[in-house]
Chain A
Amino acid sequence: MQLSPLHEQHVSAGARLVGFGGWQMPLQFTGIVAEHLAVRAAAGLFDVSHLGKVRVRGPGAAEFVNACLTNDLARIGPGRAQYTLCCTDGGGVVDDLIAYLRSDDEVFLVPNAANAGDVARRLQAAAPPGLAVVDEHRDHAVLAVQGPRSPGVLAAAGLPSGFGYMSFVDAMWRGRPVTVCRSGYTGEHGYEVLPRWEDAASMWDALLAAGAPAGLVPCGLGARDTLRTEMGYPLHGQDLSVSVTPVQAGLGWAVGWDKERFWGRAALRAEKSAGPARRLWGLRAGDRAVPRPHMGVRTTSAGPAGSAAHEATGETVGEVTSGTFSPTLRAGIGLALLAATIGAGADVTVDVRGRPAAMTVVRPPFVPRSPR
């Protein structure tokens, strides 16, 4: 199990640690609900240094990346970042990642921890001579400052803030290089700060101290998961995998359909024109139940509640892929891959440990997004 450069900080703060993607990371510091609500109302600080970092450099680096990953780098210019996908030839999602376009000759990628090596290997295998694909996983830390008060927290810590959504700037902090991007995974206004690995601890301490008057608290991966689920943001390994395509996951907006080349292009274009057999939807629990991954989803039978017809088993139409308790809504929410026959507003039944629970199919987000 690999350790974050902030491991000592987390242990001395009394964080509960959890294994995630091969890394030991904080699950929670005080409690998931309190941390979640702090991010929605004020600000939270997350250590997400487990995320991968891969640099592609050399003549035509951006053109090469654009011929591999799904989204179209031509939609953005240098200094902007983009959500994109690495697919198999069959269209399955190897990983979802952020691409920082630095110049025509340099792209910096932030894949998920568990998939960073796979993404790097696929790019290395495809790269023409003269292009370097370098795994920099342990060269940079990633500290996410998320929440409506995050601009003030960065300013108080001496970091740049206030620039446009999905833009990034390079800066010097206490004489050391850092990159700050207006991005995140919570649906709030937020920043992802990338110092050098060895500078992570002093920056973590500085951000905590600068943010404390604004109500900033350290947050773990537990709150990160409840926050992203409220937004309907998919998590690779649960909602996305090599057996799920971007078309099924509702991520067609992150595909450059007009590009001549990207991995999975033929399969994805065919699926898009035929229509996907299943789609990722939101589920909202009507009663006191929490959907959890792998629970089966059935159509709800006709008949008044409590009647024999109502209790009868409906047809299985899919499976829950993510689910949790929403601290904002105080209700169970989840994401589920459901047959194409099911759409928003449908009433379904989820098997919650042998008990049928009534849920409604909804289009995420569950809570309004305000990342801009």
Chain B
Amino acid sequence: MEFPEGLRYSREHEWARLSGERVRVGITSYAQDTLGDIVFVMLPKLGEEVTAGQPLGEVESTKSVSDVFAPVSGAIVARNETVEGSPELINSDPYGDGWLVEIQINDPSALDDLLDARGYADHVAAQP
């Protein structure tokens, strides 16, 4: 299972990629594999304020539904509308075309609380 270097990871299995003042967010390869075939995704509206650690949306698979938690706090400035129509992209390309939203942040240190790739790999290895 792949956890790219250069991304930051939440313990709830989201990834975050900083570019400028925006953080692009998706769910990890481990999360999509555990969920199985993803059939619906619910994303927040543009402009909505989200809070780190709080749900920002949902991904639903044939088997179950799971909250997506905001890895950082801020305003939603982009949402991946393609993935709403083709949620299977989250399974096939979780770090690329399967991204979910972009969050505007004021302070890049907001990512410091997240895990790096090695830390996240250890976290996944410790899952039951």
Contact = CB atoms under 8 A, between A and B. Distances in A.
Interface of A: 27-28, 31-34, 222, 226, 288-290, 292, 324-325, 327, 330, 353
A34 B65 CA distance: 19
A32 B36 contact: yes
Contact of A290 (B36, B37, B40, B91): B40
25 contacts: A27-B63, A28-B36, A31-B36, A32-B36, A32-B37, A32-B62, A32-B63, A33-B62, A222-B36, A222-B62, A222-B63, A226-B62, A288-B40, A290-B39, A290-B40, A290-B65, A324-B62, A325-B40, A325-B60, A325-B61, A325-B62, A327-B62, A330-B39, A353-B58, A353-B65
A344 B63 CA distance: 27
Chain A to chain B: the 5 pairs with minimum beta-carbon distance, closest first: A325-B39, A33-B37, A32-B62, A288-B40, A325-B62
Contacts of A226: 62
Nearest to A31: B37
B63 A290 contact: no
A99 B80 CA distance: 52
A222 B62 CA distance: 8
Interface of B: 36-37, 39-40, 42, 58, 60-63, 65, 91
Contacts of A27: 63
Contacts of A33: 37, 39, 62
Contacts of B40: 288-290, 325
B91 to A, nearest CB: 8
B52 to A, nearest CB: 22
Contacts of B62: 32-33, 222, 226, 324-325, 327
Nearest to A287: B40
Contacts of A292: 65
Nearest to A35: B37
Contacts of B60: 290, 325
Contacts of B65: 290, 292, 353
Contacts of A330: 39
Contacts of B63: 27, 32, 222
B7 to A, nearest CB: 25
A118 B87 CA distance: 43
Contacts of B39: 33, 290, 325, 330
Nearest to B91: A31
A324 B60 CA distance: 10
Contacts of A31: 36-37, 91
A223 to B, nearest CB: 9
A353 B91 CA distance: 24
Given A28-B36, A288-B40, 4 more contacts: A27-B63, A31-B36, A32-B36, A292-B65
Nearest to B33: A16
Nearest to B39: A325
A139 to B, nearest CB: 32
A132 B62 CA distance: 43
B124 to A, nearest CB: 16
A226 B61 CA distance: 12
Nearest to A353: B65
Nearest to B67: A353
A84 B58 CA distance: 41
Contacts of B37: 31-34
